[in-house]
Amino acid sequence: MADSIVTSSNSSTSSLNPTRIICHVCQKQFSQYTCPRCNSRYCSLQCYKSHSLRCTESFMKENVVQELHQMQPDEQTKNKMLDILKRFHSQEEMDENYSTLSEETMENFLSGQEISFDDLSLEEKKRFHRAIAYGELSKMIKPWDPWWSKPSARNICLSKEGTQLVQPLPDQELLDDDIGSDEFSKVPLGPETPLPPLSRLSSKEPSPLLTVHLVDILYSYCFTLRLYNGDWRSDALGSVMVVLSVSSVLGQGAQPETVLEALSHCLEQVCCPAYRHIGGLQFGLGVIDDVISLLGLGTPALVCALCDMHRWIQEGEKEAKSERPRKSQRGGTRSAIKLAERKIYFIMCWVREQPEEVWSSLAAIARAEKTSAMEFQQSNRSEDLNNKAEAKGKSLIQEI
C-alpha cells in the first residue's frame, strides 16, 4: 500500500495509511523532525535554522542562561571577568553607540560587588545576548602571548635526567618580560622526577620516524593552546579531545612518514568545519611557526612543552573518569587518552637523548614545507581567479 504524502500535519489521511509530511521550509524533502516550540516540521539542521528566527534565538538564549546558572566561578575567574568587563566598559565609553550594561551595573561591578545574570535588567539581558551573538565580548579578551615567544624560554635549565633545575636570577629584560605575563604565558615546569633512559622503556631501537611524530604532536599542542587562549585548565577534557582530533599520531595511532604528511593532516583538521571559524588555513599555517619556534629553542623547551602536555592529558583523564557518559563511550575515550599519555611520555624521554642539531634540521624542514604550502595556496588562488575570469568571459560571449 502506497504511503500518503501530505504537506501539512493537519491534513486528514486514512488512519490505515502511514503519513509522510513534506518539510515546511524547503518543501522538497520529507520532514524528519518537529520544532519543540512551534511544532513546525523540518528535514535538516539548515531548515531548522531558517524556519524561524524567534525559535532559534530563544533556543540559544536558553542554552546561554542555563550555562550561566551552572557556572560556579572561582575567585580567579571572577577577577578575569571583571577585568574583561572593565575593558569592555572603557571601550564603550569611547563608542557613540549605546552601552551594553547600564552605568549603575558597571559601578557595582567596578566596586567589586558580585552580580549575577538575574540582576541585569531585561534590556541589559537583551544587549548582553546580542553582544555574545555578534562576538563583541570576544574582542575584549586579551590575546594570549605564547610562552615560547618569551625571552625567558631561551634560558630553561634542566638536569641531565630532564628534571627542573633552579633557574638563575633573571636579567632586567627577562624580569620586565615576566612582569607583564599572566600565569598562562609562563614557561611550564619540567618533569618533577628524572626521566628514565629509553632502554628501560623499550628493548627495541626507537623508530627513525619519531622526529616526524614530534612535529605532529607539537602542532596539536600549539593549536590547542591557541584555541583555548593558553588556558587549557578551563576545560582539560575538552582540550585533550582537541589534541586527539588534530594529532593523527595521538588520536588515530597513525605513523606519518614525512613532515609534509604530518602537517598536511594537521592542516586538514584545522580547516574542518569544527575549527574553521578560528581562522582556517591561514591560522593553521601560523601554528607551523609556533612549532618552528619551539624546535628552535632546543631540548629544554621541548621537554617542558611535552611535560606540560603530559600534565593536561592526565587532568583530562581524571575528568573523563569523573564523568558518567555511556559505557562504550567512556571506555573508548579513556583508553585513547591513556594511550596518548604513554606516547607523550615516551617521546619526551626520547627528546631528552637527542643531539641539539636534530631540532634545527627539523625546524628547517618544517619551514620549507610551510613555504611550499603557501606557494601552492597562492598558485591555486591565482588559478581560481583565472578560471572565474574565463568562465565570466565565456558566459558573456554566450549571452551576446
Query: Could you report the per-residue pLDDT of 327-352, keeping only the tens digit for each?
Result: 435 557 888 999 999 999 999 999 99
**Per-residue confidence (pLDDT) for residue 310, from 0 to 100:** 95
Identify the weakest region by mean pLDDT among 97-111, 115-129, 167-181. Answer: 167-181
User: Does 217 score more than 50 pLDDT?
Assistant: yes
Residue type (1 letter), 155? N
Within 8 A by CB and 6+ apart from 155, the residues are 167, 168, 170, 174
Taking residues 261-275, what's their average pLDDT? 89
- pLDDT one-digit tens code per residue, 286-327: 999 999 999 999 999 999 999 999 999 999 888 888 766 544
How far apart, in whole angstroms, are the C-alpha atoms of residue 291 and residue 148?
A: 10
Identify the weakest region by mean pLDDT among 84-93, 104-113, 203-212, 313-322. Answer: 84-93
**Per-residue confidence (pLDDT) for residue 14, from 0 to 100:** 42
Alpha helices in the chain (DSSP H): 45-51, 53-70, 75-94, 103-110, 122-133, 172-179, 198-201, 210-227, 236-246, 248-251, 259-270, 280-297, 299-322, 327-352, 357-399
Taking residues 266-291, what's their average pLDDT? 88
How far apart, in whole angstroms, are the C-alpha atoms of residue 181 and residue 146?
A: 10
User: Does 385 score more than 80 pLDDT?
Assistant: no
Percent of the chain whose pLDDT exceeds 70: 64
Contact 216, 246 (CB under 8 A): no
Q: Give, in degrees to the nearest 5, the angle at Cα 182 between 99 and 72.
A: 60
What confidence tier does 32 reach under pLDDT thresholds 50, 70, 90?
A: confident
Residue 370 burial (CB count, 10 A): 21
* DSSP line for 215-279: HHHHHHHHHHHHHTTT-GGGGHHHHHHHHHHH-HHHHS-----SHHHHHHHHHHHHTSTTTGGGT
Residue 9 burial (CB count, 10 A): 13
Contact 291, 222 (CB under 8 A): yes
What confidence tier does 379 reach under pLDDT thresholds 50, 70, 90?
A: low
**Per-residue confidence (pLDDT) for residue 225, from 0 to 100:** 93
Nearest to 230 by CA among 290, 296, 280: 290
DSSP state of 55: H
User: Does 253 score more than 80 pLDDT?
Assistant: yes
User: Does 384 score more than 50 pLDDT?
Assistant: yes
**Per-residue confidence (pLDDT) for residue 112, from 0 to 100:** 66
User: Does 249 score more than 50 pLDDT?
Assistant: yes
How far apart, in whole angstroms, are the C-alpha atoms of residue 117 and residue 115?
A: 7
User: Does 358 score more than 90 pLDDT?
Assistant: yes
- pLDDT one-digit tens code per residue, 1-21: 455 555 555 544 444 445 678
**Per-residue confidence (pLDDT) for residue 345, from 0 to 100:** 95
The more confident residue out of 153 and 394 is: 153
